[in-house]
Homo-oligomer: A and B are copies of this chain.
Amino acid sequence: MATHIINNIQKAALADKTFCDLPPVVAHTLEQEAITTTYPTGAVLFAEGQAPRGVFIVRRGRVKLSICGSDGRTLILRMVEPGCPLGVAAVVSGRSYEATAETQEPSEISFLRQCDLLRLMRLHGELALWVTQHISADYASTCREIRDLILSDSATEKLARLMVGWLDQNIAAKNPSQVKLALTHEEIGQMIGTSRETVSRLFAGFKKQRLIQQSGSTLVIPNRVALESLITA
């Protein structure tokens, strides 16, 4: 949204926002050590199976976190928003990255080498705690992902779940029933584990049932309760 050139002052403000739960001293140190780069759309920060090099922290933009099967099919775990670190579990445990991270739009990403992160963790207990918190948050989010995907075989239900999730992220917005749809049908399919065609058909069905309206890239979901009723069914 803010298209200003980022100078140092704004950088500091950004840091405050990004590491708000960290003491200012630690946040500042991170700011000093990390290398911030702007990536174009489609850049792969790291790929599933690679040895960990460091953590990436999204500053601006959106990053797609996905895993892919031997047959080439893809499952999108989640879209990562600014303020969130990527690859922490891999870096801390020394295991290879469990997923692939790819920018969805031009993004500004801070990179912190594994050794630097570990050194800083040694210096600042708060940082170590921060990292642990994020790993367990990722774990919880992955568990939810499994629940939503496996325990509802109907594609309708999965899509309804996804959309309710969008609404949940939107509670703070001015118009909470409007969602800006920045995903293709194909990507939505990859998020809920179905084919593109099925997503198209489901959207058509939802529109026919007046569950959603679409104008351009904004999606209006007037009746959240009706959507939720599809889930329990």
- Judge whether A221 is part of the interface by a CB distance below 8 angstroms: no
**Copies of this chain, whole number:** 2
Contact of A146 among B2, B71, B94, B149 (CB under 8 A): B149
Interface size class of A (residues with CB under 8 A): 35 or more
Q: Is the interface of A mostly helix, strand, loop or mixed?
A: helix
Stretch at the interface among A37-45, A131-139, A163-171: A131-139
Q: Whose C-beta in chain B lies nearest to the C-beta of A3?
A: B122
- Judge whether A119 is part of the interface by a CB distance below 8 angstroms: yes
Task: Indicate if the CB atoms of A98 and B135 lie closer than 8 Å.
Answer: no
Q: Which residues of A contact B (CB under 8 A)?
A: 1-3, 5-7, 9-10, 13, 67-71, 73, 75, 77, 88-90, 92-95, 98-99, 118-119, 121-125, 127-128, 131-133, 135-140, 142-147, 149-152, 193, 231-232
